[in-house]
Amino acid sequence: MKFYKVTCITDVELGRPWFYSDRPSRAFGNRLFLIPDDASDAFKRGDDETRFRLLAAVSDPRHDLADLEACVLETCREWEVRGAVRVYAIENSTYRECFGEFTTANRDARKLSQALGAHEFCTLLQEVRCVSEEAIAPMPCDRTEPTRYSQCLTEELKRMGPARHEETGKREAAAPSTQPFLPAHYLIEGMNVHEYGPALDRLLSALAEVGRVPSACALTFDLDRVHGGERRHNSDEYFLSCMNDALVESLEGMALVIRYGTFDEGDAFAGYPYQLLTRLLDALARHPHAVQTVVVIPQGADALKQRIQSRFAVPWVELRRDAAPIAQDMDAAEVRAALEMRARDEGLAPDDQMAALVDERLADRTFSDVRTLYEEWRRDKLTREQFPSYGPVVKQSLARRQAKSASALERLNALVGLKDVKQHIADILARVRMNRELALAGLPARPFSMHMAFLGEPGTGKTEVARLYADILREQRVLREGRLVVRSGASLFNVDETFKAARGSVLLIDEAYSLLGYDDTVASLIANMENYRDEVVVILAGYEADMERLFRTNPGFRSRVGFHLHFPSYSAAEKLEIFQLMAQRARLTVPPETLARVRDLLARGGKRDDEGNARFVRKLFEDACGRQQTRLARNTPAEGYTEETLSLLLPDDVGTVAARPAKSAREELDELIGLGPVKELVAGRIALMQAQKARRDAGIDAPFIPLHLAFKGNPGTGKTEVARLIGRILKEEGILSVGDFYECGRQDLVAGFVGGTAPKVEALFQRAKGSVIFIDEAYALNDGQRGGYGEEAITTIIDQMEKLREDVVVIFAGYTREIDELFAANPGFASRVRTHIEFPDYRVDELVSVLHLMARKQGFTLAQGVDERVRELLERAVGQPSFGNARFVRNLLEEALIAQAGRLAAEATGACVAVGDLSADRLTTLVPEDFTWIGLDQASSGPRPIGFLAA
């Protein structure tokens, strides 16, 4: 579109206003619109003639001026302008100069919009705070006023040179219908208009001069102001819909300057302005020669530049700020002369170090320009002479600045572990590369779905790999933008809007299994995965078993998820390597003794879900850094903080060793009364696990051998106490990470409804990672019902014992015959529970010792004759079917305490004193008469045993 002010002359005197209807207008189809100008300077009456002005808008910016003049004269005749009218001058103008603001009250602007079909154009111009319009000012061809972009600009003006010289001759020869052609568009780096503005003005002037901007009108659309909330008209959706082909057609012949990027920070960006940008670029891409486009973006926004260029696939001329002279294009003498001249200008004396630095840099080519080389010399000189203590800091800073960033594929391959994942991604890229080779050979490509499932535990690198994969696909030109858009399946989201936002990028749906039960959301997800398969790569992430359940809910997943990548849990050695890499990046020194402490913590078996893999290592590292900083803050070194003290990580920074109780669990196990064979078997199995742990500590690949056990024997023989002590031993000796004790029975494992048992058992095993599960009276699960709840519990227990074989120790306890029958009912037990330990009944002498221990723990002493009385009772009870071993002894003691209390009350009454007035010896002494026979049913009841230590 192009706008003119047309000045006309008539040889008769006209009154003001010279038009006699209410602001008439005239349209010639949808190509030309005319209206009289009622501005104060538009009318001039002379003695023998009158000048007046018309405003014209033409849809074709290359409109023939002779045709325009004829239409103006025809319009004057229609409006009955008196006298002989002729066109005096036709001047280029702008929309706002001619028609003012487009508002609901501006009838002229509405007429123009309707006449030329420029509704989208006029809607855009309503946004006066983010859209501006200026006439392109002509500049002399020989004007060489320097700008911050002189080098790039000069090169571009030279490219325009041949066109400029030939333009005059060709312009008259070319017919008005000649199709326009724009050889390139422009990208300017730098958001400071005071810096890029002069270069932009010079560029637009040259473009107008050679006819690439025939309307000589520049429109600036500042999308960063849209982000700031400065729009004032229309709904977001309506304004977005105006970024279409009709708008581009209305802009034909103009220069469109788009400012964008202040709030675009890679993964984080303002959604609505970015939608405006991409919608507008897509429309411009469909009309690549209609509008001369200039996009202004922040300096160094390479990813954004790539996204813009991939969306609008035409040649782009990039205008960057001038670089300093390139030293590689100069010999050593010229470089030294340039440096010496600048040094003297700044009052610095050149020295031998300057010459040596020039020779060094010219030899290894590690610098880019003379300015950088000068700044390096200047920094070194001032540091040496005035701030020598900062020498190491300067060198480190220079090394970091000169370091080259690795590609996304290199960064992926540098990750610890994940060998199969890396190979899988390499295979995908190979297929992409071969499809391109097929296309070059004229053969049809072999398309495949690039949607993926990332399966694994938390902290195994799924999100990090997804982020790198997005960058890889952008670098390999598979995706235009390569952002990572993350959504959580645990939080319902608008699937359609999410896919629109993720176009050209990777969409990661974490915890995707949480979509189970939301059938409409799943259906929408699968539909969009197909509809956007060429624009969006979807990654569904989560636990393997849970993801499998999700995939079974809809067969559409199978055909759309092309790859299933399994992320294994990191080994102890890999986790140690991750810790070392974190320390290296933080420039921390980790001495061998500290590394041994880290290895000890990481090599322990069993980690809770929130303590697994790299996430746990990061938490361990961050906690270590926190303890180190706290230690340094509390104990300032006498010599002050040095680099060595600030970077040293001590063992206690990683984690202090927990204070051990007065007696270790192993000591308590050794002091248990009796149970000699039990202690020997348990000690042997623990020794094996300890040896494997020592091998892992030494960096030797040693698997975690599970310690699943079966404790068989009668009640009260110490099974529960031994199991509890095993958990403590494994924790204290660094074999298990947690060492808690989960005691459960049938009621804790079996649900009361169909389908509830398996999740209940799985939840218990997840809670018990790094600990011991003790299933008492485990035979109760064997209810003999095929397909019943008990069988479901047994099947799930066996499955979890295998899946979490390195994380959980399971101990089954119960009567010997019943436990054997339980294990015979399911062959899976045989390969998983290899160690069966028989707990024998206590002998009478051992039970008497147990009674002494129990009494002593409660502060009581046994009078002479008690042992004989208790032995008599025990001999009477031992061997009977319901005898409870130590449980019988504990209940016997409790009954004796009750009898003692009655006896003391009677003695106090007889002596006319209170019970509290009796002597301490009488209050704490049990006599033979306090011990009486109790029924075996009563002796078998009560709380569980607590263990029995020798005196």
Concatenated DSSP letters of 528-577: HHHHTTTTEEEEEEE-HHHHHHHHHH-THHHHH--EEEEEPPPPHHHHHH
Q: Same topology for domains 408-567 and 572-654, yes or no?
A: no
- pLDDT of residue 789 exceeding 60, the answer is yes
- pLDDT of residue 249 exceeding 90, the answer is yes
Highest mean pLDDT among 252-256, 655-659, 799-803: 252-256
The confidence score (pLDDT) of residue 228 equals: 54
Q: What are the start-end ranges of the H helices in 31-144? A: 65-78, 95-99, 107-116, 119-125
Provide the residue type at 554 as one letter. N
The confidence score (pLDDT) of residue 218 equals: 93
The confidence score (pLDDT) of residue 57 equals: 94
Mean pLDDT of the 547-552 span: 86
**What confidence category does residue 662 fall into, taking pLDDT thresholds of 50, 70 and 90?**
low
Q: Please tell me whether residue 314 adopts helix, strand or coil conformation.
A: coil
Going by C-alpha positions, the residue among 491, 507, 230, 560 that lies closest to residue 551 is 560
Helix (H) or strand (E) holding 159: helix 150-173
**Choice between 5 and 166, residue whose per-residue pLDDT is larger:** 5
- pLDDT of residue 785 exceeding 80, the answer is no
**What confidence category does residue 88 fall into, taking pLDDT thresholds of 50, 70 and 90?**
very high
Mean pLDDT of the 652-671 span: 71
End-to-end CA distance of the chain: 105
Mean pLDDT of the 841-868 span: 87
The confidence score (pLDDT) of residue 869 equals: 87
Sign of the torsion angle spanned by Cα atoms 822, 825, 829, 834: positive
C-alpha Rg value of the chain to the nearest Å: 44
- pLDDT of residue 692 exceeding 80, the answer is no
**Choice between 648 and 948, residue whose per-residue pLDDT is larger:** 648
The confidence score (pLDDT) of residue 172 equals: 43
pLDDT in tens, 375-403: 878 888 888 888 888 777 767 766 665 55
CA distances (Å), 196 to each of 186, 191, 306, in order? 13, 8, 21
Mean pLDDT of the 141-146 span: 55
In terms of C-beta density within 10 A (0-12 exposed, 13-18 middle, 19 or more buried), how is residue 261 classed?
buried
Fold of the CATH domain 844-939: Helicase, Ruva Protein; domain 3 (1.10.8)
Average pLDDT, the chain: 82
Side-chain half-sphere of 454: how many Cα atoms within 13 Å? 29
Mean pLDDT of the 211-217 span: 89
DSSP code, position 323: P
**What confidence category does residue 937 fall into, taking pLDDT thresholds of 50, 70 and 90?**
low
Give the count of beta carbons closer than 10 Å to the beta carbon of residue 702.
Answer: 16
The confidence score (pLDDT) of residue 943 equals: 40
Mean pLDDT of the 425-450 span: 84
- pLDDT of residue 947 exceeding 50, the answer is no
- pLDDT of residue 888 exceeding 70, the answer is yes
Q: Cα–Cα–Cα angle for 207, 208, 209, nearest 5°?
A: 90
In degrees and rounded to multiples of 5, residue 710 shows phi and psi of -120, 120
The confidence score (pLDDT) of residue 288 equals: 92
- Tell me the C-alpha distance between 260 and 220, whole Å: 11
The confidence score (pLDDT) of residue 167 equals: 46
- What is 137-150 written as a DSSP string? PP--TT-----TTH
- Tell me the C-alpha distance between 717 and 820, whole Å: 18
pLDDT in tens, 630-643: 888 888 877 778 88
CATH superfamily of 133-167+180-319: P-loop containing nucleotide triphosphate hydrolases (3.40.50.300)
- Tell me the C-alpha distance between 94 and 215, whole Å: 9
Side-chain half-sphere of 296: how many Cα atoms within 13 Å? 23
Domain 408-567, CATH among 3.30.300.30, 3.40.50.300, 3.20.20.70, 3.90.245.10: 3.40.50.300
Largest CA distance in the chain: 150
665-839 — its CATH code? Answer: 3.40.50.300
Q: Any residues with CB less than 8 A from the CB of 806 and at least 6 apart, and which? A: 605, 606, 703, 704, 706
**Domain range annotation of the chain:** 2-117, 133-167+180-319, 327-402, 408-567, 572-654, 665-839, 844-939
- pLDDT of residue 566 exceeding 80, the answer is yes
The confidence score (pLDDT) of residue 35 equals: 92
**What confidence category does residue 766 fall into, taking pLDDT thresholds of 50, 70 and 90?**
confident
Helix (H) or strand (E) holding 297: strand 292-297
Q: Please report, rounded to a whole number, the percentage of residues in the chain having pLDDT higher than 90.
A: 15
The confidence score (pLDDT) of residue 788 equals: 75
Which of 351-355, 367-371, 705-709, 827-831 is predicted with the least confidence, judged by mean pLDDT?
367-371
Torsion, CA 896, CA 897, CA 899, CA 902, rounded to 10: 170
- pLDDT of residue 571 exceeding 80, the answer is no
**What confidence category does residue 73 fall into, taking pLDDT thresholds of 50, 70 and 90?**
very high
Q: Please report, rounded to a whole number, the percentage of residues in the chain having pLDDT higher than 70.
A: 87
**pTM (global) more than 0.95:** no
The confidence score (pLDDT) of residue 949 equals: 46
Confirm or reject CATH 3.40.140.10 for domain 572-654, answering yes or no: no
Provide the residue type at 684 as one letter. G
Looking at 607-713, which runs of residues are DSSP E strands?
709-713
**What confidence category does residue 68 fall into, taking pLDDT thresholds of 50, 70 and 90?**
very high
- pLDDT of residue 174 exceeding 60, the answer is no
Axis-axis angle for helices 572-585, 613-634 (nearest 10): 50
The confidence score (pLDDT) of residue 413 equals: 86
- pLDDT of residue 656 exceeding 70, the answer is no
Pairing status of strand 2-10 against strand 85-93 = antiparallel
- Tell me the C-alpha distance between 173 and 167, whole Å: 10
Mean pLDDT of the 26-48 span: 88
**Choice between 285 and 631, residue whose per-residue pLDDT is larger:** 285
